[in-house]
Amino acid sequence: MSKIPHFLVIPFPVLGHVNPLMQFSEVLAKHGCKVTFLNTEFSQKRVMAAAASSSHHHQHSKNNSLIKTVTLPDGLSEDDDRSKPIEFIQSVKSTMPGKLPKLIEDVNNGEGQDSKISCIVVSMNMGGALEVAQKLGIKGAVLFPASATSMASVACVQRLIDDGIIDPETGLPIKNEEIQLSPDMPLMDPAKFAWTTLGKSFFGPMLQEAQTLISLGQWWLCNTTYELEPGALSISPKFLPIGPLLPDEQNSSSSFWQEDQTCLDWLDQQPPRSVIYVSFGSLAVMDPSQFKELALGLDLLDRPFLWVVRPSNTNKPNGSYVFPEGFKGEKGKIINWAPQKKVLNHPSVACFVSHCGWNSTMDGVCSGVPFLCWPFFSDQFEDKEYVCNVWKIGLGFEKDENGVITREEIKEKVEKLIGDEEIRERSLKWKKMVMDNVAEGGRSSDNLKKFINWTKE
C-alpha cells in the first residue's frame, strides 16, 4: 500500500498567512493528501464567528474530510492586543513550538502507520516548528504568501549585510541607492524592504528566522510562476513556484469580514468594461485627506465604481472612515468587503485600483484586468514595479508636493489606462500565460506534484 502524504500546516496566526495556507491545504487535499491545519485558539474563534454569521461562508474543513483543524494557544489572553507585531511574534514563537511535539504525537496516535505526519509546512515566523520537525525526523517546507521577489529578499538578507548594503543592526540601507538582487531583477529600493517598517527590534529576530528557514526548509514554495519573476526564482534552487493556487470552490473563503455578494447583482447591471474597482486589501490605512481626494476623484470620473471601504480598522479605536462633504457617489457602490475574484472576473469591470499586495496582484493578473497601482508599504512597491514596468499591465499614480494623490491625478490616470488598448491586450496575454501554468502539464502544476512526490520518498 502506498503512503498517503500527511502535512502539518502551520501559518503564523495573521489573516495574511492563515488564508493562503488554508488554501494551500485545500489544494493538497484535492491531490489526495491529508492535512492537519494548526490554528491558534484565537484565530479559530474568529474564523468560526465569520462562518457562522454568513450563509455564504462555511468552514473549509467541514466539507473536507482530508483536512482537520487543531488548535494551540498563542500565549496571549483573549483581550490582549495582537496588533503589536513584535510582541505578538515573540509570544507565538515562545509558546507554540514547545507544544508541538505533544500535538504531533497525539495526531499521529490517531493515524494508521501509513499516514503519520510526513512534512510540516510553515509560513514566516514559524521556523521554530521546522526545528521541531528536524528533531523528529519530519520533512520541512516554507510557503511564502507573497511574491518570489520578496521571498528572494528574505533569502538574501545576510548577503545584503555582507555586501554593506544594509545595516546589520537595523536592516536599514547604508547608502541611498537602488540595488538588484540578481541581474535579471528590477531595481529595488532597500529602504522599502519588508523588514524596514517594523523597526530595529524586529530585524535581529527576522534575520535569525531567515537563517532557520534557509537551513531547515527544503522547499520555499511560492504562489507565482516562472514567467512572472524569472530573476527572483533563479536566486535559490529551493525556490519552487506553484502558483497561481486558485481555490476551486466558489464559496471558499476564510476572510474575517463578510463578503458583500450584492455587488455582483449590481455589476450585472453595469455596461461591459465600465466599472472602476477600488480595493486596498485588508491592512492599508488611508489618512483622511487622501481618503477625501479619492472619494472626490471617483465622483469626478463620472463612471461606475465599486469601492471597498472596510468597516473599521480594528487596530484603531475609531477606525471608520468619514466621507467628505460634497461627496455624491451616485454612480458607485460602496461595500465593506468584496468577493474579489468574482468581481475581477466580471465582464463589467474595466480596471483595478489596487494597493498591489501580492494576493491582489495575482488576482488581477489571473483575471486579465489592467491595474492602477497605489502601493502603501513594503513589497507592494516591488509589485507595482512589476505591474507597471516589467509586465506593463498597469499605471501608477504620482503624488503632489504634499504627498497626496489628487482627485485630478486619479481621473487622469484612470482615463489614460482605460483608453490604452495595448495595456489591455498585454493583460490578457499575461492572464493566459499564468493560467497555462496551472493547467494539467503546466510548469507550476508539475512543481506541485514534484513537491508532493518528495514527501513520499
Question: Residues in the site for ligand NAG, rule: CB under 6 A?
Answer: 15-16, 19-20, 23-24, 55-56, 58, 145, 223, 243-246, 249-251, 253, 255, 281-282, 318, 340-341, 359, 362-363, 366, 446, 449-450, 453
Would you say 336 or 453 has its CB closer to ligand NAG?
Answer: 453
d(CA 432, CA 446): 17
Of 363 and 383, nearer to ligand NAG (C-beta) is 363
Q: How near is the Cβ of 55 to ligand NAG at its closest, in Å?
A: 5
Q: Closer CB to ligand NAG, residue 45 or residue 102?
A: 45
How far are the Cα atoms of 149, 193, 383, 386 from residue 152, in angstroms, in the given order?
A: 5, 11, 13, 15
Measured on CA atoms in the order 182, 187, 188, 191, is the torsion positive or negative? Answer: positive
Q: Shortest gap between Cβ of 423 and ligand NAG (angstroms)?
A: 19
Burial of 331 (0-12, 13-18, 19+ CB in 10 A): middle
Contact partners, residue 206, CB within 8 Å, separation at least 6 = 157, 171, 195, 198
Question: Residue 125 or residue 340: which is nearer to ligand NAG going by CB?
Answer: 340
Half-sphere exposure (Cβ direction) of 288: Cα atoms closer than 13 Å: 8
Of the pair 185, 366, the CB lying nearest ligand NAG is at: 366
Minimum CB separation from ligand NAG for residue 15, in Å?
A: 6
Q: Report the nearest approach of ligand NAG to the CB of residue 41 (Å).
A: 20
Q: In the bound complex, what is the minimum distance in angstroms from residue 159's beta carbon to ligand NAG?
A: 26
Measured from the CB of residue 322, what is the shortest distance to ligand NAG in angstroms?
A: 10
Question: Which residues, including other chains, have CB under 8 Å from residue 306's CB and lie 6 or more apart?
Answer: 263, 266, 267, 275, 276, 277, 278, 332, 333, 335, 338, 343, 349
Phi–psi pair at 329, nearest 5 degrees: 60, 25
CA distance 105 to 311: 42
How far CA 448 is from CA of 64, 114, 240, 302, 443, in Å, comes to 20, 21, 8, 45, 9
**Shorter beta-carbon distance to ligand NAG: residue 294 or 435:** 435
Shortest distance (Å) from residue 180 CB to ligand NAG: 25
- Cα 171 from chain centre: 23
| CB closer to ligand NAG out of 25 and 406 | 25
Closest approach of Cβ 4 to ligand NAG, in Å?
Answer: 13
Residues sharing a CB contact under 8 Å with residue 35, sequence separation 6 or more, in sequence order: 6, 7, 8, 9, 25, 28, 29, 66, 67, 68
Q: Which is nearer to ligand NAG, 43 or 282 (CB)?
A: 282
